[in-house]
Amino acid sequence: MRGVLDQTQWEDGRVTAGPQAAQVKRNLQLTEEHPVAQQLGEIVLKALGRNETFLSAALPHKVFPPLFNCYTGGGQFGMHVDTAVRDVRTKGLRVRTDLSGTLFLSAPEEYDGGELVMEDTYGAHAAKLPAGDLVLYPSTSLHKVNAVTRGARIASIFWVQSLVREDSQRTLLFEMDSALQKLNKTSADHASLVQLTGVYHNLLRRWAEL
């Protein structure tokens, strides 16, 4: 993917930003219609579909086609909240942005700065992950990308409309599913495992929106 992106002509990232975000966004990007974005986006989507942790945490209903961006030469994205609903122009549908994802495609040692900083009730959290690692966080979070002062920070970004809209409900289901998976490895024949699995699915049935 990096080999392809390193030979691609980038565009001004403000094209896809809302009015407020455009004032603080300074990066390069490929739009969803760009053939390279579509080609590489399919690779990302297939990888997400194989990742059990992502599926358990996000409970995806719709995924906005992955975009690709590049921060270099002081590029940054000031504090903002992602747009609540995004139009998928290539498919004529809308995606409510419950979760935001950043897939890092540059190794941390390739650039200085560029941390993804997210704020929540407990303060600010910075992420600068190895190439191939993904951070998934609520789209309601205030977040920013620090200025890149050396090298280039290349990443793929996307948004998820979850089956479960509420963050707290989705977190409970993720924690329960994680515990069930561990129990299934050590106590697969325990009668309580069947009961707890039923509780998980009944909660999902109660909270899911289709």
- Domains of the chain in sequence order: 1-162 (2.60.120.620), 167-207 (4.10.860)
Task: Say whether pTM exceeds 0.85.
Answer: yes
- What is the C-alpha separation between 58 and 171, in angstroms, rounded? 9
Q: Count the Cβ atoms, other than its own, within 10 Å of residue 188.
A: 8
Tokens of 39: 């080609």
143 is in an annotated binding site: yes
**Residues 6+ away with beta carbon under 8 Å from 148:** 71, 72, 73, 74, 75, 76, 111, 112, 113, 114
80 is in an annotated binding site: yes
- How does pLDDT run along the chain (210 residues), one tens digit per residue? 999 999 999 998 877 666 666 778 899 999 889 999 999 999 999 999 999 999 999 999 999 999 999 999 999 999 999 999 999 988 889 999 999 999 999 999 999 999 999 998 889 999 999 999 999 999 999 999 999 999 999 999 999 999 999 999 999 999 999 999 999 988 888 888 999 999 999 999 999 999
- What is the C-alpha separation between 59 and 56, in angstroms, rounded? 6
12 is in an annotated binding site: no
**Residues 6+ away with beta carbon under 8 Å from 110:** 151, 152, 153
> Of how many residues is the chain composed?
210
Cα 119 to its chain centre, rounded Å, is 15
| Cβ atoms of 153 and 72 closer than 8 Å | yes
34 is in an annotated binding site: no
| Cβ atoms of 46 and 107 closer than 8 Å | no
Report the b/e string of 13-35 with b at 16+ CB within 10 A.
Answer: bbebbeeebeeebbbbbbbbebe
